């Protein structure tokens, strides 16, 4: 198992949690801009957090089917390093956003069974990174952050011609196994390091990063 696994801590809402993630060695910190999420931030609130992120840690904005107007406001307010598209954005829309804002784009792809894998190759042609996540359960009102995992054997031993992150139901207790079984070099967590929806647990953040790199 690689010891240089890169970790993204997503859904951060408080300065002390951003600091804990940075101190523990996170590669990315994520801020959510989706009103249905308990982790939702306004651009102004995210700016206050983002300007305190140490150099070398990528600041990622998670958006869901965002309009150009919303993205204009977001990118004009928050100092960002990457946009994470977590909605139903088409490959053409991904390419459009990437060109319009000049930022690397990470596209999230939900996986439930083998039939979902084909879209990975399609989006690999237009995105800078991919986030391979669990498809939200039927009736869910959020595209991610549902504490659900998918069958890791579906992607075991597979690789794509661009960096990708494993997400979905990861916790300090299972991330080492997930890395071993999938070969993931990058992992993403949000609810798995929380004490309550939208409230991070700093001990779990530290434990998760340590386990991912054990």
Q: Domains in the chain, please, with CATH?
A: 6-212 (3.20.20.70)
CA atoms of 120 and 104, how far apart (whole Å): 17
Minimum mean pLDDT among 3-7, 110-114, 179-183: which range? 3-7
Strand spans (E) along 19-163: 28-33, 58-63, 82-85, 105-111, 129-134
The C-alpha torsion from 134 through 38 and 191 to 154, rounded to 10°, is: 0
What residues are labeled active site?
10, 133
- Does 146 have pLDDT greater than 60? no
Banded pLDDT at 166 (limits 50, 70, 90): very high
Mean pLDDT of 136-163: 76
- Does 144 have pLDDT greater than 70? no
Number of neighbouring beta carbons within 10 Å of residue 177 = 13
The pLDDT, as a whole number, for residue 2 is 44
The pLDDT, as a whole number, for residue 143 is 60
Q: What is the percentage of the chain residues whose pLDDT exceeds 70?
A: 93
């Amino acid at each position: 198992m690689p010891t240089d696994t890169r970790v993204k801590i997503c859904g951060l809402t408080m300065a002390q949690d951003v600091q804990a993630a940075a101190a523990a060695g996170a590669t990315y910190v994520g801020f959510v801009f989706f009103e249905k999420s308990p982790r939702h931030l306004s651009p102004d609130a995210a700016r206050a957090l983002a300007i305190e992120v140490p150099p070398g840690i990528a600041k990622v904005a998670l958006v869901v089917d965002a309009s150009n107007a919303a993205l204009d406001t977001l990118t004009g307010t928050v100092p960002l390093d990457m946009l994470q598209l977590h909605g139903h954005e088409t490959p053409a829309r991904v390419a459009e956003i990437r060109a319009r804002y000049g930022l690397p784009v990470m596209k999230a792809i939900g996986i439930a069974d083998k039939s979902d894998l084909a879209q990975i190759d399609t989006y690999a042609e237009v995105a800078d990174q991919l986030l391979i996540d669990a498809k939200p359960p039927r009736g869910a009102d959020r595209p991610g952050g549902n504490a659900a995992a998918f069958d890791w054997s579906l992607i075991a031993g597979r690789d794509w011609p661009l960096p990708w992150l494993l997400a979905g139901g990861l916790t300090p207790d299972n991330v080492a196994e997930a890395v071993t079984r999938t070969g993931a070099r990058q992992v993403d967590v949000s609810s798995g390091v929380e004490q309550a929806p939208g409230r991070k647990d700093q001990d779990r953040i530290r434990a998760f990063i340590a386990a991912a790199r054990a």
